[in-house]
Amino acid sequence: MIHQKMAALQSDDSAVEIKHVSRVFGAVQAVSDVSLSIRNGEFITLLGPSGCGKTTLLNMVAGFINPSSGAIHIGGRDVTDVPVHLRDTGMVFQSYALFPHMNVFDNVAFGLRQRKFSKAEISAKVMQAIEMMSLSGMEQRRISQLSGGQQQRVALARAIVIQPKVLLLDEPLSALDKSLRAQMQVELIELHRNTGLTTIFVTHDQGEALSLSDRIVVMSKGQIQQVTEPIDLYRNPANGFVASFIGEINALPSASCSVTSQEVALDIGDVRLVAPRRAEWQVASGRPVKAFVRPEHIRIAGPADAGRNVVTGEVLTHIYQGSHTITRLHVDGLGQIEMRLPGGDVVGRIPVGLKTDIAFDLAEVVLLPDTAA
């Protein structure tokens, strides 16, 4: 409800436009010709390993760093040359950066005070934000008296209370322990739903990105690798980097393929795998391809498989995780394969050292042209 109201108030359809932005530091190209259009009210994540340029890009949207070339628009306005304090963005830093010489109330009120609201208005908005972040009763506390989780909420309250055009989150959950992190992820989703704020989230944790985002921007070495929704990203990675970065996956050696109207047959040495053909695949008979199979799409072969997409592997190790087990096998011709099965039965069924048949379910296989060959 509030979401739609806030979205309607924005005059422009795209909240943030990044146009051919690059940034160079000396000899290092940190961000390389990045263009991105972020919709109003969207929760978009910049995802990638450290050094990929995601934080640099975020800092350019905030205005802390200027692009070497390109332009940035916020709310339809070109802000490339606009100083930080006039951009109307709200940022949550990885270290929270809460002002140590002020209490919780004054921290949250800081942004409002720069905007010359009346005392009564400030008080009302601050208390509302404090309540929204479950911090009621803590207004007078000093920052040093708060736990990590509480500090994070204050940092969020401080940024959202000013109702910025864009909310910028720089790996805000990385300092939290596992259970607190999971809890905060859920709260972030709810917060986004309640406020409808356009949000740019930066993280290196692909699991986090998958659970929080409307869209994910995968970056590597300063360039965008792929921009799409989480499910699409998981099922249809655009290249080898994205395939390996998102979730767990088995990258099979290069295969030559023969294509029919219904199927694609992959030959990797002596191994032949046959997958149902998907329209979006760019494959042609004779052209080498790389296949990627997720561990959850591999299982112990049974009589129903009748040898189709079945290979023999030697069990190397089991990694028991409680709800599931990762089993590593060595398959001649394919190398090391990881298989994911629920529970822990697999440990007893196929002990280490045993040679066993495993079957590939190739309905969801990722097939990419082999650019290296």
| Residue with smaller CB distance to other proteins, 110 or 241 | 110
Nearest distance in Å: CB 156, other proteins: 13
Question: Side chain identity at 11, as an amino acid letter?
Answer: S
| Residue with smaller CB distance to other proteins, 87 or 340 | 87
Rounded to whole angstroms, the Cα distance separating 275 from 278 reads 9
String of DSSP letters for 150-172: HHHHHHHHHHHTT--SEEEEEST
Nearest distance in Å: CB 64, other proteins: 6
- The sign one gets for the Cα dihedral 225, 227, 230, 234 is negative
- Assess contact for 292 and 243: CB atoms under 8 A: yes
Rounded to whole angstroms, the Cα distance separating 51 from 36 reads 19
Angle at Cα 217 formed by Cα 4 and Cα 12, nearest 5°?
Answer: 35
Rounded to whole angstroms, the Cα distance separating 317 from 209 reads 30
Nearest distance in Å: CB 91, other proteins: 5
| Residue with smaller CB distance to other proteins, 143 or 218 | 143
Nearest distance in Å: CB 98, other proteins: 8
Return the closest-CA partner of residue 89 out of 174, 199, 209.
Answer: 199
Residue with token string 């070495």: 221
Nearest distance in Å: CB 120, other proteins: 19
| Residue with smaller CB distance to other proteins, 84 or 306 | 84
| Residue with smaller CB distance to other proteins, 34 or 91 | 91
Q: Phi first, then psi: give them for residue 269, nearest 5 degrees.
A: 60, -125
Which spans of this chain sit near other proteins (rule: CB under 8 A)?
Answer: 62-64, 83-87, 89-91, 93, 95, 97-101, 110-111, 114-115, 158-159, 162
- Assess contact for 216 and 209: CB atoms under 8 A: yes
| Residue with smaller CB distance to other proteins, 93 or 292 | 93
Nearest distance in Å: CB 285, other proteins: 56
